[in-house]
Amino acid sequence: MAAKLLSWACIRNENGGLSPRPHYPSMPKYPKGVNVSFDEESKALFSVIGMTCTACAGSVEKAVKRLPGIKEAVVDVLNNRAQVIFYPAFVNEETIRETIQDVGFRVTMIKEDTNDIYTQVCRIHIKEMSCTSCSTTLESALQAMHGVLKAQVVLATEEAEVQYYPKILSYYQILEAIEDAGFEAMLISAGEDRLQIQLQVLGIRTENSVRIIGNSLQALPGVQDIDFDLDLQKFTISYEPDLTGPRTLIKIIESTGSGQVKAIIFPEGGGREAHKQEEIKRYYRSFLWSLVFSVPVFLMSMVFMYLPGINHGLDTKIVNMLSIGEMLRWILSTPVQFIIGRRFYTGSYKALRLGSANMDVLIALGTNAAYFYSFYSILRAATSKSFKSTDFFETSSMLISFILLGKYLEVLAKGKTSEAIVKLMDLAPATATLLTLDNEGNLMNEEELDSRLIQKNDIIKITPGEKIACDGFVVWGQSHVNESMITGESRPVAKQKGDMVIGGTVNENGVLRIKATRVGSESALSHIVRLVESAQMAKAPVQKFADRISKFFVPLIIILSFGTWLAWFLAGELNSYPKSWIPTSMNSFQLALQFGISVMVIACPCALGLATPTAVMVGTGVGASQGVLIKGGQALESTYKVNCIVFDKTGTLTIGKPVVVNTRLLKNMVLREFYELVAAAEVNSEHPLAKAVIEYAKKLRLDEENPVWPEALNFESITGHGVKAIVRNKEVLVGNKSLMLAQNINIPLDAEEILSETEGLAQTGILVSIDRELVGILAISDPLKPGAREVVSILKAMEVKSIVVTGDNWGTANSIAKEAGIDTVFAEAKPENKAEKVKELQDEGYVVAMVGDGINDSPALVAADVGMAIGAGTDIAIEAADIVLMKSNLEDVITAIDLSRKTFFRIRLNYLWALGYNIISVPVAAGALFPSTGFRLPPWIAGAAMAASSVSVVCSSLLLKNYKRPKELDTLDVRGITIE
């Protein structure tokens, strides 16, 4: 690395001192007192013997991911290891080991403290990659590094994503490895699990000053890691937002510097977009300079020969047979070949040093062949009184010019494929209005500041028409907020005190004061940006086809090019074709040389390499703009094959806001006391039905805004059935019929009749037992989502089968399914049962998508070929899913399937063009049409065709930006249902 870096890492120990900080992945938090641990993660590391290729690793990974409760599985074929992150509530290490063994490999669990075997993911911007051969070679080099678990390099985004063990390897070493391979590397992020800020500190003169400031910062509570770049005078600080924030950090830096230093947010000029713009400008300048030299060479070779006066002057001899025209063409083409075209030499050197060949190798060989043959020709003419030279300087110079034009158009078009991320980033406002309030809430001060300096718990003022600067909740005022840029929901959403708001959305008509809850990289907008970035990095399985071809494409073209030259040369020497075929200005050797060069420069490996990633980038970007977050090419490829969708009921088919509509007491009790016991037992549950009970219980205590419920002891959540607790020395059971039967609670005949009546009305019956006696039944209704029936009907027309799988009772499930138009229902299913049902459908030959929103859906979301999480659902469900439906509308299920089908149609079209171009153009360039038609392709035209091929593939992918969702969805009635 060119820059000198200093680093700190710290955590406060129990004695108040500082000690090295271990790192653990962030985990969801659950309410205090809850015993069920669906969100607890564990890691297991396995030694897998017998894997020989990436296909083996893929089969292991897929088998493991189909198990219930698997969050992540990464298989390292080089080190014969598999790391699995899983939820112990649903699966254990032995089951995972047996599953891998069933695939056909020898497996042993590595007996180490797996909590210490954590990984981090860094993302790196890489410059100077010319084609897919560069990306695959670099990916292999990174994958071979000790400590790297997984590496992905994507040509279209010019980025690498590396998952590595930080105890073995640092991201500095990864950057150095990329630079050693001959590419420029710039760190984008060192991991998504920490909040970071970059501060430029002006006025630092010595390393001692840096250490003093670093020590002051690391002494702050909440500061985790500190890096300092001496060249850029930049601090990169990782911190806990609950304990500190950017304004505090700036204050400490400036106070430590005794007023001699100033800290500011590091200028954005060092970002990826600036690098992208610089690359575009660089290619544009190179192309213009190449034209300055190449156009005169072209005119002298192709035009001026037909103008007698000019032609006579150019043919004037200088030394022996060397003419003025030849001398000028040599002088003008030399800077194009060696200065402007220098990038092709350096690119070739880098590729060959890594043991591969890329597009730069083809261009360098082709232009060198033309240039050095021409140079030999004029050198011989200058030393001979009889040799008449023929040069191809226009071939080398015009070839470089056209290729530079193609690269300029390509980077310009590739920049447009990632416009979705740029637009998302631009949603965040540059400034925000910070309010200072006294203890009574009275306004003391109001100031404008950089929105990146907002800290947790700040009070921010939002005026009408202003963008909301961060995630938070309303503490004062009411208004309507336009959230379409985040969720795709076109209608403004009403906001009042207590309502959550999302950073980047627009306040419509009222003044709001919000309290910041999630800032910086914690915000929903940042999370969406990361999801889209990760999606654009993730390769679709179909990309493997291009990766395999790229390994032998360039060597094959070099062999074909040499074979073409040799065949035409020998044919000419052996008089196998008429002498009249040879142009008057050439001999057989020169004709053969032109055919060989044309073959070498017309072949285009880039078009194949760009066919999939550019379409995936545009497709995922379009999805994000419509509120459908697709997590990469794998998800896209699986979704377009989906022919069966499994719907959860509560919160998915229904609106997810159940309300208590009826209460039937079987014993004489005061209703308020009854609900106090029930609410006390349910308050620790995250289930939507539990929340409905709590809300109804609150209405019975109107005298209190936030009532305190009696203490619940020995709380137990019984998955798929209900809850159990001791309240006021009474055993309270709240749940479904199966819970009561499992606990040997007698259900009277009249209770059975009430349950049947309730279920017949598509309501859920909740039974309440106190001291092992059934005392009441609650009827809870959760209305079907608007448009659900129409969505199911459209899916049927798309030949996609719909199924309901729910933990609710059979009566309610059947009623909701009938209302939605779904024939197949599976009710009273536990989380593991849902996953098992998904696997049964897969065994029957279906490609299954699971649509769910709750923690209990996560095993099924993981097991399905495609998991779709409702955006309003739990974090764990969203994490487990392949696709997130931000608007929580079922119509987006159709949008996701339709968009994936359109995207893969475009990918197929791109491959058809890329393969068809190479299959047709190479024989034409080799002279296949020359004997019958006299048509031959000059090398500089072949180079122009090659450049146009890459551009056409990117432009083809860009047509996806015109995607419109199916017209049938525009007629759906999706007006919201208001729950009082």
**Alpha-carbon distances, residue 717 vs 87, 112, 226, 873 (angstroms):** 17, 32, 43, 19
12 - beta bridge partners?
Answer: 18
Please indicate whether residue 104 or residue 574 has the higher confidence score (pLDDT): 574
If you average pLDDT over residues 9-19, what whole number do you get?
41
Q: What six digits make up the tokens of 902?
A: 């359109």
Residue 595 has pLDDT above 60, yes or no: yes
Q: Which positions are catalytic?
A: 648
Residue 717 has pLDDT above 60, yes or no: yes
- Exposed/middle/buried for 86, CB within 10 Å: 0-12, 13-18, 19+? buried
Predicted confidence at residue 17, as pLDDT, reads 40
Q: Is-contact 193 26, C-beta < 8 A?
A: yes
773 - beta bridge partners?
Answer: 770
If you average pLDDT over residues 253-267, what whole number do you get?
76
Residue 936 has pLDDT above 80, yes or no: yes
The string over 588-604, giving b where at least 16 C-beta atoms fall within 10 Å of a residue's C-beta and e elsewhere, is bbbbbbbbbbbbbbbbb
Classify 151 as helix, strand or coil.
strand
What is the rounded distance in angstroms from the CA atom of residue 344 to the CA atom of residue 365?
A: 10
The letter for the amino acid at 352 is: L
Please indicate whether residue 264 or residue 770 has the higher confidence score (pLDDT): 770
Count the Cβ atoms, other than its own, within 10 Å of residue 508. 16
What is the rounded distance in angstroms from the CA atom of residue 186 to the CA atom of residue 127?
A: 8
**Alpha-carbon distances, residue 43 vs 76, 119, 693, 783 (angstroms):** 15, 11, 36, 40
726 - beta bridge partners?
Answer: 713, 731
Q: Is-contact 776 747, C-beta < 8 A?
A: no
Place 568 in a pLDDT band, splitting at 50, 70 and 90. very high
Classify 537 as helix, strand or coil.
helix
Please indicate whether residue 397 or residue 543 has the higher confidence score (pLDDT): 397
Count the Cβ atoms, other than its own, within 10 Å of residue 503. 28
The DSSP code for 649 is I
Predicted confidence at residue 267, as pLDDT, reads 66
Q: Is-contact 153 126, C-beta < 8 A?
A: yes
Residue 416 has pLDDT above 80, yes or no: no
Q: What six digits make up the tokens of 674?
A: 């009854």
The alpha helices in 588-627, defined as continuous H runs, are 588-602, 605-625
Please indicate whether residue 527 or residue 765 has the higher confidence score (pLDDT): 765
If you average pLDDT over residues 348-372, what whole number do you get?
81
If you average pLDDT over residues 15-44, what whole number do you get?
44
pLDDT in tens, 420-468: 566 666 777 888 899 988 877 788 888 888 888 888 888 999 988 888 8
Count the Cβ atoms, other than its own, within 10 Å of residue 270. 13
Residue 702 has pLDDT above 70, yes or no: no
**Helix and strand numbers, DSSP H then E, in the chain:** 31, 39
| CA dihedral over 217, 223, 228, 233, signed as positive or negative | negative
If you average pLDDT over residues 182-204, what whole number do you get?
73
Place 564 in a pLDDT band, splitting at 50, 70 and 90. very high
DSSP string, 324-375: HHHHHHHHHHHHIIIIITHHHHHHHHHHHHTT---HHHHHHHHHHHHHHHHH
- Please tell me the least confidently modeled range out of 170-184, 524-538, 743-757: 524-538
Predicted confidence at residue 942, as pLDDT, reads 81
Report the Cα 740 to chain-centroid distance in Å. 46
What is the rounded distance in angstroms from the CA atom of residue 860 to the CA atom of residue 848?
A: 10
- Which residues are within 8 A (CB) of 923 and not within 5 positions of it... i.e. 6 or more apart? none
Predicted confidence at residue 51, as pLDDT, reads 74
Q: What six digits make up the tokens of 224?
A: 């985790």
Please indicate whether residue 540 or residue 96 has the higher confidence score (pLDDT): 96
The alpha helices in 221-263, defined as continuous H runs, are 246-256
Predicted confidence at residue 956, as pLDDT, reads 87
Place 768 in a pLDDT band, splitting at 50, 70 and 90. very high
Tell the residue number behind the tokens 């969406």, with chain if given.
Answer: 528
Residue 868 has pLDDT above 50, yes or no: yes
What is the rounded distance in angstroms from the CA atom of residue 398 to the CA atom of residue 377?
A: 19
pLDDT in tens, 474-523: 988 888 888 766 665 556 788 888 888 888 888 888 889 999 888 877 77
Residue 659 has pLDDT above 70, yes or no: yes
Predicted confidence at residue 173, as pLDDT, reads 84
If you average pLDDT over residues 228-244, what whole number do you get?
78
Residue 866 has pLDDT above 80, yes or no: yes
Three-state secondary structure of 796-835: HHCCCEEEEECCCCHHHHHHHHHHHCCCEEECCCCHHHHH
Residue 110 has pLDDT above 90, yes or no: no
Helix, strand, coil percentages in the chain from 3-state DSSP, rounded to 5: 50, 20, 30
Predicted confidence at residue 14, as pLDDT, reads 38
Predicted confidence at residue 285, as pLDDT, reads 92
Tell the residue number behind the tokens 């027309």, with chain if given.
Answer: 797
Predicted confidence at residue 902, as pLDDT, reads 92
The closest alpha carbon to 43, from 31, 27, 56, 29, belongs to 27
Place 270 in a pLDDT band, splitting at 50, 70 and 90. very low
- Exposed/middle/buried for 403, CB within 10 Å: 0-12, 13-18, 19+? buried
Count the Cβ atoms, other than its own, within 10 Å of residue 700. 16
- Please tell me the least confidently modeled range out of 84-88, 201-205, 540-544, 806-810: 540-544
Predicted confidence at residue 26, as pLDDT, reads 33
pLDDT in tens, 169-186: 777 788 888 888 878 887
What is the rounded distance in angstroms from the CA atom of residue 859 to the CA atom of residue 65?
A: 10
Residue 242 has pLDDT above 80, yes or no: no
Classify 213 as helix, strand or coil.
helix
Residue 473 has pLDDT above 70, yes or no: yes
Predicted confidence at residue 412, as pLDDT, reads 77
Q: Is-contact 727 684, C-beta < 8 A?
A: no
The closest alpha carbon to 160, from 143, 146, 144, belongs to 143
- Which residues are within 8 A (CB) of 905 and not within 5 positions of it... i.e. 6 or more apart? none
- Please tell me the least confidently modeled range out of 417-421, 657-661, 817-821, 958-962: 417-421
The closest alpha carbon to 517, from 565, 567, 456, 576, belongs to 456
Mean pLDDT of the chain: 80
What share of the chain has pLDDT > 70, as a percent?
86
The DSSP code for 718 is E
Predicted confidence at residue 567, as pLDDT, reads 93
Strand order in the sheet with 234-239: 5-9, 223-229, 234-239, 195-202, 262-265
Q: Is-contact 361 348, C-beta < 8 A?
A: yes
The alpha helices in 649-760, defined as continuous H runs, are 671-682, 688-699, 737-742, 749-760
Predicted confidence at residue 832, as pLDDT, reads 73
Q: What is the largest CA-CA distance in the chain?
A: 125
Place 258 in a pLDDT band, splitting at 50, 70 and 90. low
Please indicate whether residue 782 or residue 5 has the higher confidence score (pLDDT): 782
